[in-house]
Structure 1
């Protein structure tokens, strides 16, 4: 079952953010099937023979994904792997990371993918979450954009301008870092928080002067000739994104998480090696032309990264940066949203553990 959840703007994370900053492919391609059919069959047979021995406590895995889509959902690899274990997979769609985090906080989803920023604000708001595994992000799919005929020529010209993005999303950290690099402060811009799914049409109609956004919205605007990029997020010190889980769910279901991470890693490796096939799989779901989807796939980051002391240190640096800029009321210890080394060892398959 796929459930589309509309964003609610006066939610716990939105209210939290406002209080800190005033004003705040269902069908699998023949190629994929051909590559994985035999191994999947063997996996399912093995799983079925061990159903009685499984330590999985849940019968339904509630997965959240963002409007930009999710290759894992489209290919149904989780459903194929978990069905023999008696576990169903249900999906819910969200406008962006902050909305996904809110749903996790109230127990509507168990696991979902977000950028580096949403879990920081979620933890600060009291959400009981844990980082499960990291995701690669090269920064190429995010940009500060203006209309083609805009008089704004560089990030330095943003002083005094209205800048639109979703607060507490990855774009929030991006604009902070970009402003700093240009010698500006957060207080130098007029911030308006609007989710990408809503801001997209307004920007294309010329109603938004500066937009901090990402794919697929950015790629669509580029192909329509409606955007000029001031800079991308390449070169910034973002640690990337993460799969985040409800804390108790992660503690109770290490075996399930290990299976899920293993399947995610497999499909990531396949997608990196088959970009055109990947684009064809996702395009119908996104309702985007093939050339737009190919652009999205061409700059997508691939690969999962185990949670390590180095990655925790990088994420802590992001949290500290928000606090230093007055966007968090007190210092945040991201270690409190981490599992123990022993728990990470239990959920990381060999393909991830060896990285």
Structure 2
């Protein structure tokens, strides 16, 4: 074999080896890590139907899904970089994250759903007004949207948060305490609210109308928002379409979500979803007025370590 031919063979072999090594790198999909809760309705629908994977395929992006028990650890994971996007969380949760110095960016919100959370008592309870809550034990999930509803309701009745005995419980524990009469009232949200109304003798003492808008927010990190605007655009578009589909197909959506929500009766799921707007829209600076009310209320009740300017946040918008 000639030296020239030998050199050419070596070059070909090296080129093939480089090509084989480079191919997997070029084809490897980027991971989009999405955090969600069991009650993250629209994200749960996207996950169960594989819709978002299809929408992001052209951008060579694969999705990994990460479930969290509630909004607080979800946003903590986002803040430390363990996930890239957060599914919807109650409007109170970003306020607490902001007070803790988290560098978060809003990229979508759901229009208000004030009737999707309420303060309930047993049907035979002697409590007939918000003022009657004075001195009573009330189950509530700390830092959740219902926490703000309770503060706002007490303020309306001329009471302070210190006038009640809060029992900070998860929704499941709150339901158990309420059912077993360990608490006098329970503040909860959908679908736990409709489930309790369907299965227990209850009365609504007050819902969010006139007290708490209950807007839910989708968040990311400031860094991710700057680096991946097209990914956020795709996710936003799919959330809008899914919200539209749910409102147009409430029963079909309920049949999908029921098994995901602990085999909840689709009739209860449909009732619960009817109280949520599921209207996904962009976040506008002037829409953060409710966030400021929330921040001021928690700070005034000594439940936030520092005051918060709700406008000092990053807001993603399409290019």
Match of 1:106 among 80, 83, 92: 80
Larger radius of gyration: 2
For the Cα contact (< 8 Å) 1:239–1:311, is it kept in 2?
Answer: no
- Name the CA shift for 1:197/1:180 in 2 (closer, same or farther; >3 Å): same
Deviation of 1:221 after TM superposition, in Å, equals 1.1
Inter-partner Cα distance in structure 1 for 2:204 and 2:84: 36
- Name the CA shift for 1:197/1:66 in 2 (closer, same or farther; >3 Å): farther
Match of 2:69 among 95, 98, 101: 95
Deviation of 1:239 after TM superposition, in Å, equals 6.1
Inter-partner Cα distance in structure 2 for 1:104 and 1:245: 7
5 Å matches for 1:104-143?
Answer: 104-112=78-86, 113-143=88-118
1:175 aligns with 2:175: no
Inter-partner Cα distance in structure 2 for 1:60 and 1:206: 47
Deviation of 1:326 after TM superposition, in Å, equals 2.6
* Partner in structure 2 of residue 301 of structure 1: 277
* Partner in structure 2 of residue 76 of structure 1: 50
5 Å matches for 1:166-315?
Answer: 166-238=141-213, 240-286=215-261, 287-315=263-291
- Name the CA shift for 1:237/1:151 in 2 (closer, same or farther; >3 Å): closer
Give CA-to-partner distance per residue, 1:298-318, whole Å, 9 cap, x none: 212221222213113332232
Shifted more, 171-180 versus 149-158: the winner is: 149-158
Deviation of 1:180 after TM superposition, in Å, equals 1.0
Q: Which runs of 4+ in 1 moved over 6 A?
A: none
For the Cα contact (< 8 Å) 1:95–1:195, is it kept in 2?
Answer: no
- Name the CA shift for 1:197/1:106 in 2 (closer, same or farther; >3 Å): farther
- Name the CA shift for 1:58/1:201 in 2 (closer, same or farther; >3 Å): farther
For the Cα contact (< 8 Å) 1:221–1:227, is it kept in 2?
Answer: yes
* Partner in structure 2 of residue 61 of structure 1: 32
* Partner in structure 2 of residue 344 of structure 1: 317
1:321 aligns with 2:294: no
For the Cα contact (< 8 Å) 1:239–1:315, is it kept in 2?
Answer: no
Deviation of 1:233 after TM superposition, in Å, equals 1.0
Give CA-to-partner distance per residue, 1:130-186, whole Å, 9 cap, x none: 111121122111011122222212211100111111111111111111111111111
For the Cα contact (< 8 Å) 1:67–1:197, is it kept in 2?
Answer: no
Structure 1 unmatched ranges of 5 or more: 1-56, 347-355
For the Cα contact (< 8 Å) 1:61–1:87, is it kept in 2?
Answer: yes
Task: Report the 3-state secondary structure (helix = DSSP H, G, I; strand = E; otherwise coil) of the residue aligned with 1:323.
Answer: helix
Task: Report the 3-state secondary structure (helix = DSSP H, G, I; strand = E; otherwise coil) of the residue aligned with 2:107.
Answer: strand
* Partner in structure 1 of residue 19 of structure 2: none
